[in-house]
Chains A and B, each alone.
Chain A
Amino acid sequence: MEQLLSVMTQSNAAPMELNLARILRASLRQAGGGPLAGLPSTLILKDTKTRLKLRLAVSPTTGITISRARKTETALVEGLFDPFSGAPPKFELRGAWRKPLLHRRLTRLFQPALTPWQTAATHFFNAARLLDPNEFTIESYSRDTDTRHHWGQGPEQALILGSAATLGHLYNGYALLIDDILKGRIQCQASMRTIAIITDATTENWMDLQ
């Protein structure tokens, strides 16, 4: 039976906390409570990009609470948490956490679980209240796997191109369309209005599924 462990964030959680919470929730659902056993009661994570530190209060019976750590607290785990990249966080484990078993546990805990991008896309488009299938026709195409996904039958056309991994991050809710476009990871051919509305939907998906 799946053990329900909570992952709590503050009401004013930053994007990195929200993405981390989602990753942890998915990882805990997959593996039950096992990964938390044997971990220290507190983990301090440091994002090497923004230098912000997060404190994870770990309870093997109830779950994890994520909050902002004080600047003076030493980081046990450092990594990249860029919430907009959609890429899995990368970590360097320090001190006692070099032990291979703990390293594996932490790596597994922080590893986002992605559903196949077409499955995630179907779910995303059906759940996105901002998108009307009678207004939009959206085609997504993965260039590296030559796979496609169609949604809608409306007159407003949009073509979204990217790698399967990038599309996976986008439709699984770990990334935002406009950010992927601006960083050159995704091309999107559509009117400015259509791009804005799809981006709005991906942002809502990203924020609401935490």
Chain B
Amino acid sequence: MTDTAFKGEVNLDQWLDRHHVKRVRTMATDLDGFALGKYCAREKFTKGLPIGHNLADVALGSDSESTPHLGFWHSFRRSVLGDIALTPDLSTLIPDGQDPDLGQVICDFTFLDGRPISLCPRTKLKQQVKKLDDLGLSVKCTFELEFFLYDNSFDDAERKQYQNLSPVGASPLQTIYLLKDSFRAVTFMNHVLTRLEAYGIPWEAWNDENGMGQIELNLVPDEPVVMADRVVRAKQLIFETAVELGLSTTFMAHPQPGFSNGMHIHHSLLRDGHPQFYDAGAPKNRSQLLRHWLAGLVETMPASVSYLCPSVNAYRRLQEFAAPPVTATWGEENKSTGIRLICDGAKTARIEHRVGAGDLNPYHALAVILAGGLTGLAAQQEPPTEFTDLAWGIPASIERLPSDIMTAAKTLDACDALKQELVAEDVEYWIKSRRHEWMTFHRAGNDPDSPIPGLWEFQRYFAVS
């Protein structure tokens, strides 16, 4: 492994020497999208290549408190507790920049012989990208990251039981784009942006968002796996920067009444590098490929909510007139529908999928979106009528998206198309993991109807989402 050329160097060892790497941090996301991994001595890391290092199989088979999924099964697990591997994707190896001796690498969960585990979220996304590649298509996409920034440290936030925290900002008003609020966050964001640039993660813009202390960060689009990797890294470094500056941040979907973190996903399809959504000769410039793709996305949207809103807390976000969509609808330049279509030019035509919550797993989210689009291509469907009204406060006869984690899981369970695209055993395991989350939530005495998230939700999601 170390004898082959690596990133412009003679081999991996030379690259590690040049970047003074003495330790390597491995990183992969579990089903809930939480970053897991180990800090490895350089020798341990290189010796384990190409398969990587072992870790307990429950890393991919447990909840966010590492409670093993004892009540349901997947064939990747061992009949007794065993190990799986974290296999590094060496194309993602970078120097940390902040820690001069550290390198970082993104990994996949694999069997001990290096075979991929289909349940691994990153592998799941690769499967969908491969299907598109087989059709001669590629994807360009990006995420809008929203998070809250507080003057309180994580320790202080925990001591206060996450109540009455001090959001970073100058104004007590919930004003969006307010430069005085942005300025209060500049020191923090400059640290974040410097690290993003060191990681090779290009960004476009950031701004003060609607919630008090809420910030939105936009990243430059790229292909799906690269983009999801960047989101995972960006979330981790935002957390680390907050820790270093004595602040706290959260991507929790709904940390305060009235305001939520979403993660809107923009994407477009390309063939041979050329955008495919815009067709100047088609009605309203919407290509046939776009219409089929859109039809699949809308058709599978209710079922995809389970992956796009993975936590119990995420469903507090889906409220009428609260900015997130509540219906499986689409419309051009309509920000109240589940899908906002932008079709104003060949290079800018894209779909903004607006259902995703701030705590989503980016690999899962993109995988379920691509799978939905693929079902539309396969069936050559036409989309339902464009929704040109405001998609909130409308008659109850228009079906709403699932409003709780268990309804969403059942809706996904009933969707054969997505189960087929995403591998039925993996989807069923995911559904049962959501059932586990739902039951754990209720066993702790929580109320999903309360407008205020309970302590259980803060303890489970605030720091780690």
Contacts and interface: CB of A to CB of B under 8 A. Distances in A.
Interface of A: 11-12, 14-16, 47, 49-52, 68, 84, 176-178, 191-193, 195-197, 199-200, 203, 207
A191 B79 contact: yes
A50 B439 CA distance: 13
A16 B443 CA distance: 9
Given A199-B70, A200-B73, 5 more contacts: A12-B406, A51-B445, A192-B77, A193-B79, A200-B72
Given A192-B77, A193-B77, A12 B71 contact: no
Which 7 pairs from chain A and chain B are nearest by CB? A50-B445, A196-B73, A12-B404, A199-B71, A191-B79, A14-B442, A200-B72
A49 to B, nearest CB: 7
B60 to A, nearest CB: 14
A192 B62 CA distance: 14
A200 B404 contact: no
Contacts of A84: 443
Given A11-B407, A192-B77, A199 B72 contact: yes
B71 A192 contact: no
Interface string B421-437: 00000000000100100
A193 B73 contact: yes
Contacts of B114: none
A177 B70 CA distance: 10
A161 to B, nearest CB: 18
Contacts of B449: 12, 68
A173 to B, nearest CB: 14
B426 to A, nearest CB: 15
B70 A15 contact: no
A193 B69 CA distance: 11
Q: Interface centre among B73, B432, B448, by most A CB within 10 Å?
A: B73
B443 to A, nearest CB: 7
Given A11-B407, A68-B447, A196 B442 contact: no
B80 interface: yes
Nearest to A51: B445
Contacts of B444: 50
B403 interface: yes
Interface in B436-463: 439, 442-445, 447-449
B443 A15 contact: yes
Given A11-B404, A200-B71, A52 B432 contact: no
A191 B79 CA distance: 6
A51 B454 CA distance: 13
Contacts of A177: 71
A159 to B, nearest CB: 16
Nearest to A181: B70
User: Of residues A14, A68, A84, A207, which shows the largest number of chain B Cβ atoms within 10 Å of its Cβ?
Assistant: A14
Contacts of B435: 203, 207
B79 A192 contact: yes
B282 interface: no
13 contacts: A11-B404, A11-B407, A12-B407, A15-B442, A50-B444, A50-B445, A51-B445, A68-B447, A192-B80, A193-B77, A195-B70, A196-B69, A199-B70
B81 A12 contact: no
Contact of B72 (A11, A47, A49, A196): A196
A15 B406 CA distance: 12
A121 to B, nearest CB: 19
Indicate the member of B78, B447, B448 with the most A CB atoms within 10 Å.
B447
Contacts of A196: 69-73
Contacts of A195: 70
A130 to B, nearest CB: 9
A195 B71 CA distance: 7
Contacts of B432: 200
Nearest to A18: B442
A197 B73 CA distance: 6
A12 B443 contact: no
Interface string B335-375: 00000000000000000000000000000000000000000
Given A15-B442, A191-B79, A192-B80, A203 B71 contact: yes
A197 to B, nearest CB: 5
